[in-house]
Amino acid sequence: MRYWLLLLLALAARPGIADDQCAVPAEIAGEVRPLSRVQAAIVQRQPLTILALGGASTGGTAAGAPELAYPARLQAFLGQRFPNAPIEVINAGRARETTRLMVERLQGLLIAHRPQLVIWETGTADAVRRVDPGEFEQALQAGITLARARSADVILMDFQYGRGASALIDFEPYIERLEWAATMKEVALFRRHDMMRFWSDSGLLDLTERQGDKQRKMAAVLYDCIARRLDDVVGRAVK
C-alpha cells in the first residue's frame, strides 16, 4: 500500500514526463552515505577513478554498445557535474558471474586501477543459481572489506526489476542480504530494483519490450536513467 501511495503522490507532483523521465521519489533515491575518497579527489581536483563491477547489465549488453552502458553515461554526467576533476569510469561488467567470482577478480582490478569508488552490481547470478544466501552475504562483506583495504568507497547496487524474472526466481532473500550487508558495512545501497519498478509502474519506461531495436533503445534509456540517478547519489554525497 505504501509503495502505491508513493507512486501516486510522485506522479501528481510532477508537471509531466518531459520534466525528468528518470525522476524517483526521495525514499527510493535512498539516504546519503559519505564518499570520503571521492570527495577528497573532487576537492583537490585530482583524477577520480570509479570501478563499475557487475554483470551483463553493467557491461551494457542489452543496449548493444559499451558507450550506451551506464558506466560510460555516468562518466559523462559526472564530467559535467565536476568539470575540474578528470573522471574515468572503468566498466568491469562480466555476464553470469556469482558474487564469489567477482570478489576473486576484484583484487586484481583494485591493484590495476586504484579506484576511489567501486560501484558493485551483484546478486542476480547468485539468485539464478540458488547460491546459499548466507554464502552470498559473506562474499559481499568480503568484497566490501577488500575494496576498503585498497582505499575505495563502495556503493552496492541491487537487482534489476522485471515481472517475468520475479515470478520465476526468488530474489527476496538476496535483496535482504544486500540490505543487511550495506547496513553492517555502512555503505550506500543503490535501489535499482525499486527505481525500475517505479519507472515501469508509472509508465515512464516499457520494460516489457522484447523486439530487436526497440528493446535496445529501451535498454539504452534505462542505462541512461541509472547513470543519472548514480550521478545524483555521488553529487549528494560530495559537498
141-199 pLDDT, tens digit per residue, is: 999 999 999 999 999 999 898 776 666 788 899 999 999 999 999 999 999 999 999 99
| Residue 14 falls inside a structural domain | no
Q: Could you tell me if residue 34 is inside a domain?
A: yes
Count CB atoms within 10 A of the CB of residue 186.
10
Judge whether 17 lies within some domain: no
Cα of first residue to Cα of last residue in the chain, in angstroms, is 35
Range of the domain at 59: 30-237
String of b and e for 151-185 (b: at least 16 CB within 10 Å)?
ebbbbbbbbbbbeeeeeeeebebbbebbeebbeeb
Residue 1 lies in a domain: no
Instruction: Give bridge partners of residue 116 from the DSSP assignment.
Output: none
Is 5 part of any domain?
no
CATH number, residue 46: 3.40.50.1110
H/E element holding 154?
strand 153-157
Report yes or no on 65 lying in a domain.
yes
What is the grid cell recorded at 111? 591493484
Asked if the structure places residue 7 within a domain, the reply is no
H or E stretch at 52: strand 48-54
Which residues are paired to 190 by β-bridges? Answer: 157
**Does some domain include residue 224?**
yes
State the total domains in the chain.
Answer: 1
Is the whole-model pTM more than 0.75?
Answer: yes
pLDDT digits (tens, 9 = 90+) for 116-150: 999 999 999 999 999 999 999 999 999 999 999 99
Specify the range with the lowest mean pLDDT, choosing from 60-74, 105-119, 194-208, 219-233: 194-208
